[in-house]
Every structure is written in structure tokens, then in C-alpha cells.
Amino acid sequence: MTDPGAVEHGLFIGGKWVNPPGAGRFSTRNPATGEVLGHFVSARPSDVVAAIDAAQNAFPAWKETPAPKRGEILLRAAETLRGRKEAVGQVVTREMGKVIAEGRGDVQEAIDFIEYMAGEGRRLAGETVPSELHRKFCLTVRQPKGVVACITPWNFPTAIPNWKIAAALVCGNTVVFKPASNTALCAYEVVKVYEDAGLPPGVLNFVTGSGAIVGDALVGDPRVKAISFTGGVETGREVYLKGARQLKMVHLELGGKNPVIVMDDADLPLALEGVLFGAFGTSGQRCTATSRVVLHEKVYDQFLGMLVDRLKSFKVGDPIDPSTDMGPVASADQEKKVLEYIEIGQKEGAKLRTGGHKLTGGVYDLGHYIAPTIFETPHGTRISKEEIFGPVLSVIKVKDYDEAVHVANDVDYGLSSSIYTRDVNRAFRAIGDLEAGITYVNAPTIGAEVQLPFGGVKNTGNGGREAGSVAIEEFTEIKTVFIDFSARLQKAQIDPR
């Protein structure tokens, strides 16, 4: 287990940690304190080629390894990570800035998913279906795709990589993993876990560096058969287009503009806790973050008052302190983007109810702290429709259920959604009416569980889902098998019936 100091880490290629001579370096920093945490290699296209070579070479033996054996290695990885949960959770908090309870939660989600996928080694189910012909047996089997690239963001720096890596590995693929640069130390910890669990050399390779160089080299290499990407919409679109030229399978998990509808019959104290957790957990930097409250006019003043009031005792500070409610945003870039959106909100006439500024003085001067922010805004403003990815909540007044659903749906994204109501009929209608991959009833928009599919509609992705048992769809090819044991030529659709 690495002590998260400013240690230099290499690339992991063919089972060896390498520091290619001549490559540049970059560092990661704690967004709460500015402390330098680690130094990493800015890989060049030639380094990416070496990683793909290693993955390609390791593929035949890994494919031949029985899936239950692959699952056993995953189980060892889950156990290894469980033993390091506290230490890696601290690395998550120090490098990404989420509060320590969430740092541990990030790691727990990774453990849960690796464990779940380990079991998939004993399933990986195909189908058997009847043939229309005599003495003919029909079935499907799942085969790995080959070398796959996992490209990940910084907001869940251990959970998201494992959602991809564990699923890809159990299916028999070999992997080249490229993490977001500002959480490279978390990514290093993920790779160490698999190395220490005994994954054969070359099965998982790790390249750090710029998205434009490393990501691009990965996406453009014809030997990479599938790409699993989580990140921003614009980057996702580029990756998709580039992959499409080579007819690659590209799985995209992109942004969200997730609404919580609070109806006039809602349990308001419950909704309050849900909205606070959904909007300001991870400083609003979850793809499922609650970025809009769609609020019924009959409870508008009351609920908004409760929200603003409750934020007065909200503690923003160093996320490693267990009493902190919200840490900084993850980087200087994030800070700039969020502050720009706050300015946009003010320019377009939204009413700032609380927050709306960078926090300064004392510990705040060391990091990227933004006050939790609430705007009252009509539906249709930029802040009510675009993904901000920060602690900024838009509150929108509606007169009834139909308007609430219209507002909730009238955005380019469709990841998560929620309704607070005590009316069971309305709750079930909302499940059908809300255009999103995920709907919560009487719970906030965040809180994925690994055994259920995760993903969305519209600009949130391109139709795939991660997690749950469907996770293996992304990483397998289906082979259809016909076994004719009639000892004669039989012709489907043509033989007389």
C-alpha cells in the first residue's frame, strides 16, 4: 500500500511499472489544500502502443482462462481492496475532494462491484432456444471482445474505473485503463489492487497523461475493439465519432441535469434531506447530482425557506474532517467553470437565494471552495438546463404535476430523476412519464446500487448501461451456435413443414 505522498508512479505495462525515458511528468494536488500528492508519466502515443501490445499479447491466455477462475482473481481483488478501504478512501478524499464518508463510499462501491462481477464468472449466461428443425440444438455463448479501453473521469475515481475494469476482465477481455489526470493516484491504487491480487501480466495496463494524446491514441488504434467512456458530453461525442470510423463499440456515460420534483403532498423534511444530499454531496459533482428542484407552488415558499435555512448550518471545509458537510470542487478548472455559471445565472436574472461566491479566508484560501448556492429561476434559463457539475441548485416553481413533468423532461439529458409524493398513483405515473434512465421515488437522484443497471437517455449516453447483470453486454460478443445431430442436411425455412 502506497503512502500517498508525492511519490513518482510509472505506467503499468505488461505487468511491470515503467518510467519511459524522455516522457514528461505531471502532478496531482489536493484540491482542499494544494498539497502535491504524486507525480505521473505523461504517456506518449508510443507508450500507448506498448500498452496495447501488452494487452493484445495477454489476450489469448486470458480468454482461455475459465471464467470462474477469472472471477476468483476478481474476488481476491475485492478482498485486497476491502483491506485497504480506509487508506484508499483517504486517498480519494485527498485527491478528489469529496468528504471522507463519501471517499470511503467510493471505495465501497468499487469493492461491491468487483465482488458482484466475480460472481458473474460463474454465470456469463447465454440462452438455449428450440430449433424449428429436428435434432438440432441452438444456443448462444458469450465471448470477449479483445483489447478494451477504459477511459474514466475524476468524480468517482475508484468506483467508475472498477465498474469498467471488473466487468471487462471477468468477460475475458484485456484492458488498457486511462484515468482522468487529476485523480491519477486513485487510479494507481486501483491498478495496484489487481496487481497484488495476482492478475496475470498484460491483462490490465495503465497509461496516464493527456486525454488529447493518450485517449486519442487509444481510441484510434484498430486493435482496441471497444471503448468504455465516462466523462463530458463534448469529449464523449468526439470519442464516439472517432470510434465510429472504425466501427468500434463505444459505450458512453455522460452528463445529467437531474430533477427532484417535490409535490404539494410530499413529506417535506424527508425531501429536504434528500435534496441537500443530492445537490451538495460530492460538491454537486456527480453525474446524478440533483441540480434542479421542481417545486409545487403550494409548498414553494415553505420548502425553499427550509432549504435556505438548513444551509446556514452547512459546514464547508477540509473534506478529511469527518464533521465537514461539503468539501471543495475538484480542481481549478472546475472552480472556474462553476463560478462562470453562477455569473451566467445572475446575468440572466435568476434570483440568488444563498451562496453564489468563492469562499475565502483561512483554509479556504488553500483550495477551491465554493459556497453552496441556490438560485430561484424560471424554467428555460441556461443554469436551469445546462450541466454545471458543482454545488449550484436551481429551484423552479410549477403549478401542477403535468407542468412538473414537462419541466423535468425539457432538458437535453436524461440520467436520473426523482419525485417526492405520498400519492401512489402519481408516483407510478412519474415512473412512466419521467424521461430518464433512473427514477427514484421519495429518495434523491443519487444512490446507485451496483446490482442494478446505470445509464440514461438523450445526451446522457448512447443507449448502453453499466453495472447490474447487463454490464456484461458492453464487454461481450454473442456467438450463436447451431449443432445439427440429425446426420442430414436440414434447411431452415425451406424444408417442408
Rounded Cα–Cα distance for residues 385 and 381 (Å): 6
Collect all residues with Cβ–Cβ distance below 8 Å to 492 and sequence separation of at least 6.
132, 133
CB atoms closer than 10 angstroms to residue 388: 25
Separation between Cα atoms, residue 108 and residue 497, nearest integer Å? 57
With CB under 6 A as the contact rule, the residue among 215, 243, 274, 328 that binds ligand TXE is 215
Is the CB of residue 440 less than 8 Å from the CB of residue 447? yes
User: In whole angstroms, what separates CA 392 from the centre of its chain?
Assistant: 20
Q: What is the DSSP string of 257-306?
A: -EEEEE-TTS-HHHHHHHHHHHHHGGGG-STT-EEEEEEEGGGHHHHHHH
Among the listed residues 150, 171, 186, 287, the single catalytic one is 287
Q: Interface with ligand TXE includes 238 (CB under 6 A)?
A: yes
Binding mask 74-103 for ligand TXE (x = CB under 6 A): ------------------------------
Strand-pair category, 476-484 with 457-458: unpaired
Which of 153, 259, 328, 437 binds ligand TXE (CB under 6 A)? It is 153
| Range in contact with ligand TXE (rule: CB under 6 A) among 122-130, 174-182, 467-475, 486-494 | 174-182
Q: Minimum CB separation from ligand TXE for residue 179, in Å?
A: 6
Closest distance to ligand TXE from the beta carbon of 193 (Å): 19
| Interaction between residue 283 and ligand TXE (CB under 6 A) | no
Contact 47, 41 (CB under 8 A): yes
Contact call for residues 463 and 250 (beta carbons, < 8 A): no
Please state the closest distance from residue 31 (CB atom) to ligand TXE, in A.
Answer: 13
Q: How far apart are CA 278 and CA 308, in angstroms?
A: 15
How many residues sit close enough to ligand TXE to count as binding (CB under 6 A)? 27
Answer yes or no whether residue 240 interacts with ligand TXE by CB under 6 A.
no
* Window of 177-185, 187-195, 365-373, 467-475 that interacts with ligand TXE by CB under 6 A: 177-185
Tell me which of 20, 83, 126, 232 binds ligand TXE, using CB under 6 A.
Answer: 232
Q: What angle do CA 86, 15, 53 make, to 5 degrees?
A: 130
Task: Please report how the helices 159-170 and 67-83 are oriented relative to each other, as an axis angle in degrees rounded to 10.
Answer: 160
Quote the DSSP letter at residue 213. Answer: I
Q: How far is the CB of 254 from ligand TXE (least distance, A)?
A: 5
Q: Collapse the DSSP code of 377 into the 3-class scheme (helix H, G, I; strand E, B; otherwise coil) and give the result.
A: coil
Q: Which stretch binds ligand TXE (CB under 6 A): 5-13, 85-93, 114-122, 153-161?
A: 153-161
How far is Cα 374 from Cα 405, in angstroms, rounded to an integer?
21
Give the residue, chosen from 28, 152, 324, 418, that forms a contact with ligand TXE under the rule CB under 6 A.
152
Closest CB 307 distance from ligand TXE, rounded Å: 23
The residue among 383 and 398 lying less far from ligand TXE, judged by its C-beta, is 383
* Residue 148 grid coordinates: 478494451
Cβ–Cβ contacts within 10 Å for residue 241, how many?
11
Q: How far is the CB of 111 from ligand TXE (least distance, A)?
A: 20
Contact 173, 148 (CB under 8 A): yes
115, 195, 253, 466: the active-site residue: 253
Query: Applying CB under 6 A, does 407 fall inside the site for ligand TXE?
Result: no
Smallest gap from Cβ 417 to ligand TXE, in A, equals 15
Q: Retrieve residue 74's grid coordinates.
A: 476478481
Residues 6+ apart with CB under 8 A from 312: none
- Is 207 among the residues that bind ligand TXE (CB under 6 A)? no
The interface region with ligand TXE, picked from 87-95, 121-129, 172-180, 438-446 by CB under 6 A, is 172-180
Report in angstroms how near the CB of residue 280 gets to ligand TXE at its nearest. 16
Which range touches ligand TXE (CB under 6 A), out of 16-24, 55-63, 122-130, 251-259?
251-259
The span of 121-129, 131-139, 166-174, 226-234 binding ligand TXE (CB under 6 A) equals: 226-234
Q: Return the number of the residue (71 or 255) whose C-beta is nearest ligand TXE.
A: 255
The dihedral through the CA atoms of 89, 95, 96, 101 has a sign that is positive
Set of cell numbers at residue 104 = 470511503
Q: Does 219 bind ligand TXE (CB under 6 A)?
A: yes
For residue 253, indicate whether it is catalytic.
yes
Q: Is 224 in the site for ligand TXE (CB under 6 A)?
A: no
Cβ 98 to ligand TXE shortest distance, Å: 13
**Residue 212 sits in the site that holds ligand TXE (CB under 6 A):** yes
Using rule CB under 6 A, residue 287 touches ligand TXE: yes
Q: Does 150 bind ligand TXE (CB under 6 A)?
A: no
- Annotated active-site residue 387? The verdict is no
| Cell numbers 465498474: residue | 163
The enclosing H or E element of 217 equals helix 216-220
User: In the set 144, 161, 211, 437, which binds ligand TXE (CB under 6 A)?
Assistant: 211
* Strand-pair category, 36-42 with 24-29: antiparallel
Please list every residue from 335 through 394 that binds ligand TXE, using CB under 6 A: 337, 387, 389
Which DSSP string corresponds to 109-163?
Answer: HHHHHHHHHHHHTTT----EEE-SSTTEEEEEEEEE-SEEEEE--SSSTTHHHHH
Catalytic positions, please? 253, 287
| Binding residues vs ligand TXE (CB under 6 A) | 151-155, 178-181, 211-212, 215-216, 219, 230-232, 235, 238-239, 253-255, 287, 337, 387, 389
